[in-house]
Copies of this chain bind each other. A is one copy, B any other.
Amino acid sequence: MKGVTSTKTATDNESIDSIVLSLGKKAQGASRILATLTSQRKNDVLNSLAELIESRVESLLEENQKDLQLGRESGLSKALLDRLTFTPERIESMAEGVRQVAALPDPVGEEIERTVRPNGLDIRKVRVPIGVIGIIYESRPNVTIDCAALCFKSGNACILRGGKEAFHTNSALAALIRDALQLHDVPISAVQIIPTTDRAALNALLRLDEYIHCIIPRGGEGLIRFVAENSLIPVIKHYKGVCCLYLDKDADPDMAESITVNGKVQRPGVCNSIENLFVHSEAAGSLLPRIANALLEKGVELRTDSASEGFLLGVKGISFNPLTEEDLYEEYLDLILAVKVVSDIDEAISSINKYSSSHSDCIVTKNEAAARKFLAEVDSATVFWNASTRFNDGFEFGLGAEIGTSTDRLHARGPMGLRELTTYKYQIFGNGQIK
């Protein structure tokens, strides 16, 4: 097919393919060395990186300005420009994040299981790095540092492909990482960023299954779907959070209100905030009006099914926005909540298994049997009983830091910390056993 494209394009793509291939090979070489580094040496690199970040605030801000200028010229939305923007505080918190990763326990080398078999074979299951991880992300440049630190601490080489809007900022951050690695004589190919914003480089990366062992895409649904459909490398998806809350007929009314309000308004723009509220028909009469009042006070728009409307007629100042089925699939990331009355816990569970993105769902009830049924039958990464879905993150779970929240089932589910960036191998100690 090459003859069909223009000479220029063919040459460009070939050169991009060979650039990306070379990144893959270097990453593999580095990964073999990273797998054997002591925790101390890894922590030294990370602490140096934190210092370097702090010492170069000015130049980071300058490089960031270039991206912001280009972003404004190309008409990036205000939200995207905000994500892209560095401030001295944001840079400081990035450095602090790196120090926190340095302070976490090193998962590599941990003995997960050990069995001595009747024939004397001593079988040890030992935690090791995955190898080479590709991270594909969008505009937020702090992801460059966060992901590099987590991959490095867990002994993985990484190849980073950030958004083109953050290219200058990411390149400046990559230079800092390189300096930190060099300071401690660690191969600089431990952390590489793709030196071009050409989409062909992403396509080439996703086919390098010989050298890259895992792809983690972080970004919008479109990006994640593109990566999943085009990758030969296993992908751990971090899809959106359509989180659901179910208020059971035996819900404590105060708890029902506080968990609903917290789940929706405390930080609506994040993936663990709630988007759908299901209410048991027997509790709707007492719960819905007071909860609606509390939400309206915080400026939340309610999208209600007709049964909910019946319970909400007396609420002062309410205007009804009829709920559609599409609403139930939507991640609003905004002060909007879908509200639907269900006839029993079975309908709640089947609705959640249908509409939830399997990220975080919650039941509020005083009835333990109902709670245990919900915890068992809701097929999501994290299922809460009487606690806000907002607690679903790596810090709250005690993982220390997270690279994201997997909505997949294989390898890692829910918050992914350092351990979830490792795999294992079997080391078998024998004394001459033959079969």
Contacts and interface: CB of A to CB of B under 8 A. Distances in A.
Contact of A252 (B387, B425, B432): B432
A430 B385 CA distance: 6
Given A424-B413, A426-B414, A259 B434 contact: yes
Nearest to A376: B36
Contacts of A228: 209, 232
Q: Main SS of chain A's interface residues? A: mixed
Contacts of A384: 428, 430
A152 to B, nearest CB: 18
Interface stretch (A10-18, A169-177, A332-340, A403-411): A403-411
Interface in A236-282: 236, 252, 254-255, 258-259, 262, 266
Interface centre among A213, A396, A433 (most CB of B within 10 A): A433
A410 B32 contact: no
Contact of A32 (B131, B377, B426): B377
Contacts of A121: 387, 391, 396
A220 interface: no
Interface in A383-399: 383-388, 390-392, 396-398
Given A379-B131, A397-B123, A423 B435 contact: no
A234 to B, nearest CB: 5
A239 B386 CA distance: 46
Contacts of A386: 429-433
A302 interface: no
A262 B434 contact: yes
A432 B255 contact: yes
Contacts of A258: 432, 434
Interface string A200-243: 00000000010001100000000000001100101110000000
A130 interface: yes
A132 to B, nearest CB: 10
B409 A213 contact: yes
Given A35-B376, A130-B409, A410-B410, 20 more contacts: A32-B379, A36-B377, A115-B398, A117-B397, A121-B387, A123-B398, A213-B410, A262-B434, A266-B435, A379-B425, A380-B425, A383-B425, A384-B430, A385-B430, A387-B434, A390-B434, A391-B430, A392-B426, A410-B411, A413-B426
Interface of A: 32, 35-36, 115, 117, 121, 123, 130-131, 209, 213-214, 228-229, 232, 234-236, 252, 254-255, 258-259, 262, 266, 353, 375-377, 379-388, 390-392, 396-398, 408-411, 413-414, 423-435
B387 A430 contact: yes
Q: Which 9 A-B pairs have the closest CB atoms?
A: A387-B430, A262-B434, A390-B435, A411-B411, A382-B426, A410-B411, A387-B433, A386-B430, A375-B427
Interface centre among A213, A408, A426 (most CB of B within 10 A): A426
Contacts of A390: 434-435
Contacts of A434: 258-259, 262, 266, 387-388, 390
A388 B213 contact: no
Given A410-B410, A413-B423, A433 B391 contact: yes
Nearest to A364: B432
A32 B378 CA distance: 9
A232 B228 CA distance: 7
A433 B236 contact: no
A121 B165 CA distance: 40
Nearest to A378: B425
Given A384-B428, A430-B384, A229 B229 contact: no
A258 B435 CA distance: 10
A381 B425 contact: yes
Contacts of A254: 432
A258 B433 CA distance: 9
A24 to B, nearest CB: 15
20 contacts: A32-B377, A130-B410, A131-B379, A229-B232, A236-B410, A254-B432, A258-B432, A258-B434, A266-B435, A379-B425, A381-B425, A385-B427, A387-B428, A387-B429, A387-B433, A396-B435, A409-B423, A413-B423, A413-B425, A414-B426
